[in-house]
Amino acid sequence: MVSQNYLGIYINKNTAAVVCLDSQGKGGSVLGCFSVSVEGQEHPDSPGVSGLASLIAQGCAERGLKFSEVAVALDCAMFMQHSVHSEFDDPKQIAATVRFDTEEALATDITDVALAFEINSSDKAGSELTVFTAQRKILSDILFSLQQHNLDPVTIEPDVNCLSRFICQKVSSAESQEVRTLFAMLSRRSGYLIVPPAGAGGGPAGAGSQKASTVRTFLVGSTQNRDQLLAREVLVSTALTASLGPINRVKVFDSAGSVDYEQLGEKLGIEVDRIDLLGAAGIKTQTPADRAGPARPVDFAIAYGVALAHFEKGRGVNFRDDFSPFQGKKLRLQKTLNYLSISVTILLIAIGLYFQTRVFSVNGFRSDLRDRFAKAYSAAMPGQELSDKTRMRDAVRKLGGLLRGLEREKKGLITDEESVSSKLTLVLNAFNKCATQTNLNIKSISITAKDISITGDTSNRRNTLAFFDTVRKSGLEISKEAFGAKGARDTFTITVVPKK
């Protein structure tokens, strides 16, 4: 989709005008325009606004019009205009209290009414407002019908406000700033009177304190004399704006072409000229393919004016601000983020479950292996509990030591000095060497893995010491010794170990 092209739609009961603007440039250029109508056509499944929405979507598709934003202008028969005074001059305070002020001014309940307003002038005494009210049901029907065809309008504005924007940007900019001009436009069924603000074709910049255009709408009957009707309404508007300065010129467009401009000027006593609306907008005459029949310049000017709303910054006269704030892009972004967050959450849960399954599998294997090891080692380690890692490591270390000792003994790696049999052999050799000379008598021998304790006696102390020397020369070391005398015999007790 081509971004930043703007679509303006003017909707009334049975017809609609559509203008698509290119966003390049200050005021945009017309990319395409057409009108549709359900008058005289049978649309049992899509009556009224619903049928118009379908025809608008179809017309855009047939002409290949691409756009990013949509704005809608509401026909004056669908809303009412009021003059309301506010005690405040701050726009935020006015917005917060305008509903109460309007309800008080109208002396009626406005619960089911949507409201939009424009500040005409402000001073220390407060602000003068132009308030527009429309039934919420009408606006909801329009909004729902357009949204059904992917046309979600950013703004829904009064048609006279859109026409005022068109006049200020496309027509009155060429007017002399010294002349205060009233613009009068008559369509088939409606009339519009617009006095631009000072400095925008509405007179000198210092005239009055007017901030916005002074606008009025009125209905036009099919049998009414348009000269008389226009003369009366112009005089009323001139009187209403007299405090802001005199009207010097009236510019008129009549869709029926029945207004006598010269005669109207004589009645009003003011210069009267005609306006070329289509020429000012750069809109070509409709083609026979357009469904609304003959070209309706006022309708296209309104559609052009509502499309120009996208070029403006700041607050506009928008019914959607009150009853259904626009959330198109925001809502799409929120939905995208929601889908993305849900997808990421599901992905993270799946990854977590995968790794958790792997952890459970490894832990199950470790638990099974541990149970098997506990059962296998229970015979070698009676009474030992294999309840924790420390005891398991101690058990493995002790078993490893026993295994290595058995393997060394089996291979003959243990020396004679370390074996009990070798120790006993050394002691017996010492006995044999000195038994006769020392008159040795052995009473007891106690053998352990570490040493040998010998208790005995000889005929005298000298023979006992000679026995000790013989023991030392046999490869043994006396770690402990004790002497004593018993009768004619010299007793002793010694503890011997192999020499290191």
Average pLDDT, the chain: 80
Instruction: Report the alpha-carbon angle 464-466-467, nearest 5.
Output: 65
Contact 18, 33 (CB under 8 A): yes
Per-residue model confidence (pLDDT) at position 175: 62
Q: What is the pLDDT of residues 361-382, one digit of tens each?
A: 888 878 877 777 777 666 555 5
Q: DSSP alpha helices (H): ranges in 221-288? A: 226-240, 261-268, 277-281
Band (169; pLDDT cuts 50, 70, 90)? confident
Q: What is the pLDDT of residues 83-122, one digit of tens each?
A: 899 999 888 899 899 999 999 888 888 889 999 998 888 8
Band (11; pLDDT cuts 50, 70, 90)? very high
- pLDDT for residue 393 is more than 80: no
Q: State how far the Cα of 168 lies from the Cα of 174, in Å rounded to an integer.
A: 10
Per-residue model confidence (pLDDT) at position 389: 58
**145, two tokens:** 């019908």
Band (416; pLDDT cuts 50, 70, 90)? very low
Per-residue model confidence (pLDDT) at position 57: 92
Residue 71 — φ and ψ, nearest 5°?
Answer: -135, 145
Sign for the CA dihedral angle at 165, 170, 176, 182 comes to: negative
**Cα 10 off chain centre by:** 34
Q: State how far the Cα of 127 lies from the Cα of 70, in Å rounded to an integer.
A: 31
Mean pLDDT calculated for residue range 443-448:
78
Q: What percent of the chain stands above pLDDT 70?
A: 78
